[in-house]
């Protein structure tokens, strides 16, 4: 059914009211996390668009603190899994344990049974463990023995990768990386932000306590509203244009990019770009998507979905460079 102007105005007002918690949430998180607004914003996009986030950054950039604070602010369960080479799938999803008193096997749930999971240094665990986690991410359910358990919603995985130590790691294959809605690259805080971090950490009263702002149920309602955000057909055409430009750059007068791209974004990239744009529009308290929303999330949605050739790597061309070229060439509606 086509939306009328009246429907969209109503939707806009509805979303304007419903999204008010986003500002409150960001303010609350800001009490504990200094700087890193970009990362927090992307976490919320993942949360609202029902996608998972892959975070790349050096240690000590408040990744754990961010997701822990987010879970506290939403009053949700949080667990952290440190991925190591000797980790087993059972250590993540859980296993069956024999109970001698009752003379039966009982299920012992793994740390994945939480709302927010921090999969720290995901590339340090072998493929079997990565696969177990990524399957849970995709299916949102776990099977232990004969029993299948639905994972509690909201379910958000924040996986981290350390870009500097690559020895003894198991790089995530392209097909697995594609399951993350966003890949966020975070950098160091500014000097002023770092000064505030020192002050906050040396506070004799300890770290600021995060108060719950909303419930997981509110997040579920917000997710429904995110999907209702109006996306005009002009935007619907703009999104495939951007994704297709990564596959066939020559059709967008970008012949020079052809030898640099090994493979472009999949249809999952288009779906996630649309969903993330809607979530971004929701966070900006709008009931409709504008091209700015698409461009704002484009790098995070697309950077891990554009494969580079050896030629590109030899020339130090990054996927961000390629995406910049594409966004500067594709006409905005």
Residues that bind other proteins (CB under 8 A): 3-5, 8-9, 12, 230, 232, 234-235, 286-292, 295, 327-333
Q: Which is nearer to other proteins, 5 or 100 (CB)?
A: 5
User: Rounded distance, CA 114 to CA 92, Å?
Assistant: 11
Q: Which is nearer to other proteins, 120 or 325 (CB)?
A: 325
Q: Which is nearer to other proteins, 5 or 103 (CB)?
A: 5
Q: How far is the CB of 232 from other proteins (least distance, A)?
A: 5
Q: Which is nearer to other proteins, 156 or 254 (CB)?
A: 254
DSSP state of 19: T
Query: Is 15 in contact with 225 (CB distance < 8 Å)?
Result: yes
| Backbone phi and psi for residue 53, each to the nearest 5 degrees, phi listed first | -125, 130
Q: How far is the CB of 198 from other proteins (least distance, A)?
A: 34
Q: How far is the CB of 286 from other proteins (least distance, A)?
A: 8
**Within a 10 A sphere around the Cβ of 55, how many other Cβ atoms?**
25
Q: How far is the CB of 188 from other proteins (least distance, A)?
A: 25
Query: Is 283 in contact with 44 (CB distance < 8 Å)?
Result: yes
Cα–Cα distances in Å, from 194 out to 33, 34, 104?
Answer: 11, 8, 54
Q: Which is nearer to other proteins, 92 or 235 (CB)?
A: 235
The dihedral built from the CA positions of residue 287, 279, 22 and 152, taken in this order, carries a sign that is: positive
Query: Is 74 in contact with 213 (CB distance < 8 Å)?
Result: yes
Q: How far is the CB of 229 from other proteins (least distance, A)?
A: 10
């Amino acid at each position: 059914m086509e939306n009328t102007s009246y429907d969209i105005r109503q939707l806009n007002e509805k979303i304007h009211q419903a999204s008010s918690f986003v500002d409150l949430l960001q303010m609350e998180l800001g009490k504990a996390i200094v700087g890193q607004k970009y990362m927090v914003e992307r976490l919320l996009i993942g949360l609202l668009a029902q996608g998972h986030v892959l975070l790349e950054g050096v240690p000590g950039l408040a990744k754990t603190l961010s997701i822990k604070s987010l879970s506290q602010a939403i009053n949700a369960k949080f667990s952290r899994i440190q991925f190591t080479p000797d980790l087993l799938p059972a250590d993540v999803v859980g296993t069956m344990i024999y109970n001698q008193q009752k003379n039966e096997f009982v299920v012992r749930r793994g740390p994945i049974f939480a709302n927010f999971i921090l999969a720290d240094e995901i590339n340090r665990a072998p493929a079997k463990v990565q696969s177990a986690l990524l399957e849970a991410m995709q299916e949102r359910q776990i099977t232990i023995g004969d029993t299948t358990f639905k994972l509690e919603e909201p379910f958000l995985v924040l996986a981290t990768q350390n870009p500097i130590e690559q020895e003894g790691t198991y790089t995530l294959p392209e097909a697995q990386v594609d399951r993350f809605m966003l890949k966020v690259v975070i950098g160091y805080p500014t000097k002023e932000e770092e000064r505030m971090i020192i002050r906050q950490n040396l506070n004799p009263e300890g770290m600021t306590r995060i108060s719950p702002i909303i419930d997981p149920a509110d997040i579920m309602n917000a997710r429904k509203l995110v999907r209702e955000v109006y996306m005009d057909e002009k935007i619907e055409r703009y999104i495939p244009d951007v994704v297709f430009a990564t596959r066939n750059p020559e059709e967008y007068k970008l012949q020079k990019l052809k030898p640099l791209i090994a493979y472009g974004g999949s249809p999952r990239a288009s779906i996630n770009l649309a969903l993330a744009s809607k979530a971004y529009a929701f966070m900006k308290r709008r009931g409709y998507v504008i091209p700015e929303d698409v461009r704002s999330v484009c790098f995070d949605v697309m950077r891990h979905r554009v494969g580079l050739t050896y030629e590109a790597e030899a020339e130090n061309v990054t996927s961000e460079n390629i995406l910049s070229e594409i966004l500067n060439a594709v006409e905005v509606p």
